[in-house]
Amino acid sequence: MSSETNTETKTPIVLAFSGGLDTSYCVLELREQGYDVHTVFVDTGGLSEKEVNWIEERALSLGAVKHHPVDASQLIWDEFVIPLVWSQSRVLGEYPMLCSDRYLIVRLSLKLCDQLGTRHFAHGCTGMGNDQLRFDQTVRSLGDYEIHAPVRDLQRQPGNIREIEIGILELAGVSIPEKTGKYSINENLLGVTISGSEIDEFQSPGAETWQLSRPRDEWPEEPLQVAIQFEKGVAVAVNGQAMPGPEIVKQLNTQFGRYGVGRHIYTGDVTIGLKGRIVFECPGIDALLLAHQALEDCVNTRFQNQFRHQVAQRWAELVYTGFFYEPHKQDLEAYLSSSQAFVSGTVTLETRGGSMHAVAVDSEFIVQDPSAVYAQSCNWSPTEAEGFIKLTGQSSTTTMRVRNKDG
């Protein structure tokens, strides 16, 4: 359902709204510019019903003529989590692109633009990060719309952008939650990302920045084991219980989060040339990536597993830098889908706190010959082994002999 307030008819504009500092400012600024502001909150998971309701109340209290909540938790599983797990992609080997809900937010916001008959779309990105590229490029990839970025426009004024926003909101009598004023927080099905304050200054993050993972003194004493079942590379069950993908992530977030799993501090390069530092937590995604790799390493060939790393690097590059709807990404995903034909089985993960390990793998497709087991037995002779070694190294052996013949 959507909620609305009465107002005179003006040009409608759709604002991707989260209820945070930036998008709260955007509502006021767009109203000042004379637009009828339609806020849309694309729920990609991670928030409680109470928090979702608060976002709607916030939008209407700021003067939005109508608020539109949209559930996209299944979409983010289907369109992002599945290929992410297939590719094992992490930017710089660390960051699994928790920001990728932006692409669905834009697409569904533009769908609302079409329904309202407007070409005006607004977002709350600054001009200092990668999100502006993700939002703007997605808009340009999907259609002909006019992009409004009120927070980015604030950079024409000297001073700290967040302080300017806070001042304008306070002047308008708008309350600002303490944590929202201090940090920029993004929560979705994938996890939680926080920046701002001491994080931006490359200092130790405060204890309040960790939301999904518990501190050391709260870890349970007993170890945790969780079995994740995959069918053709897609997680379908946890501990023998089948459930939809979004529920799997939520359950893994809760189970492993209790043990302090999933904490990360990441520094990356912003496309426009800055260094950006964030704190993020994703115990569920970490668990899925670890379990899937353990299974895939056992059932796919050496060449498939080697090539996966090359695909992962390119797929991550496209997704991270704003090219989610680039045709080349679709090409890569076609290969990834093909590579999952035999990635079926169950992986058991274990944690005693802080980290986790894949301790058991069960699959009918494990590439193993009962008569040839690593470090135990083989079905070839010593002579065959020696011949293999000689031929494998023949090029290097010959090269070194030629180069050292005078030595």
Return the structure tokens found at 375.
């470090």
Specify the pLDDT at position 7.
Answer: 47
Asked if 166 contacts 174 with a C-beta cutoff of 8 angstroms, the reply is no
Specify the pLDDT at position 181.
Answer: 63
Specify the pLDDT at position 179.
Answer: 64
Return the structure tokens found at 282.
């994703």
Specify the pLDDT at position 143.
Answer: 95
DSSP 94-151: TB--GGGHHHHHHHHHHHHHHHHT--EEE----SSSSHHHHHHHHHHHH---EEE-HH
Longest dimension (CA), the chain: 93
- What are the per-10-residue average pLDDT scores of the chain (407 residues)? 58 96 95 97 92 96 97 96 97 93 97 98 90 94 96 87 89 80 85 91 92 95 98 98 97 97 92 86 98 98 95 95 95 98 98 97 92 75 88 90 80
Q: Which candidate, 162, 42, 143, places its Cα nearest to that of 102?
A: 42
Q: May I ask the CATH class of domain 193-300+342-362?
A: alpha beta
Q: May I ask the CATH class of domain 3-183?
A: alpha beta
Number of CB atoms found within 10 A of residue 9's CB: 7
Asked if 101 contacts 44 with a C-beta cutoff of 8 angstroms, the reply is yes
Specify the pLDDT at position 381.
Answer: 84
Domain definitions of the chain by residue range: 3-183, 193-300+342-362, 369-407
